[in-house]
Structure 1
């Protein structure tokens, strides 16, 4: 009975404190709760392994051959800040600028923690489609789940507090994979939050 009383008191205190916290600002001066839309431009590289995969990407007879290429990516999404954590969703369109990859596109959900003055640390899960130049102009789109980890860091976190204001521009770094770890895809770029 004593544990139940303590648990009820803790729940009541949290319920009373939550509305007061909801009115506070996040460390970077933005709302602690709401919708945070953003756009991003990123660049990077992706290399696929030469192993059997559920997406059906053909294997090369040469075991050392790998499908790869450099990429440029556009991202549109939104975050929903929930105090010290956030959830969100985003879509991407990616163009291969050299190598075997022609186009990629996909959607993903993100969740993570807000860090420092304006930073984010997150994990993401989604679905991605990829089309290869290497298989000719009639190449099908291969598709599978995608998983990733990333961070965003704002100007206040790196000592440039007055340059872009509260929402502004952030640096984003991310590493993701296609299917059951059949690719490695490091990306970096700039994110504009509104």
Structure 2
């Protein structure tokens, strides 16, 4: 095995460290603090095919989460949500993890995955009264994508598109407040 001379070793080490040295001032200007947010949202959750035609519900609710910068562009985070429905959905709630990228100074695109529970109003969905003790809550994994754009120093508009088990589609828009 051939050994490197001290001069060649120093030159290779400097060349390998150069990208990190050049990016350090830019990274120092980026925020490294977690960003906590809460918000309100509204949208529509389509539960899929129902023989009676009642297969979805307008939803409205709240969400809260935290985004943690991992570098100058990459973000990871966690979020929880709670929504009420005004159709066949009584309520829904869940939690997701997310990974995203910053787009420019104000934008963010993200993908997320987690678990969501949906409490269905069986009487509105089927026309049949729910028997006493019947559990009408069902859960499944959630995957989705979203984007947000800051419209002020501490506010952002956002849109998300999710699916539960690739059987349902949920689209929501909201307003987030950052702390």
TM-score of the alignment, normalized to the shorter chain, above 0.5: yes
Could you tell me how far apart the structure 2 residues matched to 1:78 and 1:104 are?
Answer: 20
Which digits, 9 at most, give the CA deviation of each residue in 1:129-155, with x for residues without a partner? 111012537433211100111100112
The Cα shift of 1:112 comes to 1.0
**Matching of residue 169 in structure 1 with residue 155 in structure 2:** yes
Alignment of 1:105-144 (within 5 A): 105-135=93-123, 136=130, 138-144=134-140
Contact 1:67-1:101 within 8 A present in 2 as well: no
SS in structure 2 at match of 1:23 = helix
**Matching of residue 20 in structure 1 with residue 25 in structure 2:** yes
Larger radius of gyration: 2
Other-structure match for 1:186 = 171
Question: Which 4+ runs in 1 deviate beyond 6 A?
Answer: 5-8
Could you tell me how far apart the structure 2 residues matched to 1:115 and 1:9 are?
Answer: 31
SS in structure 2 at match of 1:12 = helix
1:95 to 84, 87, 107: 84
The Cα shift of 1:17 comes to 4.2
Other-structure match for 2:34 = 35
Could you tell me how far apart the structure 1 residues matched to 2:140 and 2:15 are?
Answer: 43
Other-structure match for 2:58 = 70
SS in structure 1 at match of 2:29 = coil
Q: What stretches of structure 2 of length at least 5 have no aligned partner?
A: 3-8, 124-129
The Cα shift of 1:9 comes to 5.8
Contact 1:109-1:125 within 8 A present in 2 as well: yes
Other-structure match for 1:85 = 74
Q: Aligned pairs, how many?
A: 162
CA root-mean-square deviation: 2.4
The Cα shift of 1:65 comes to 2.9
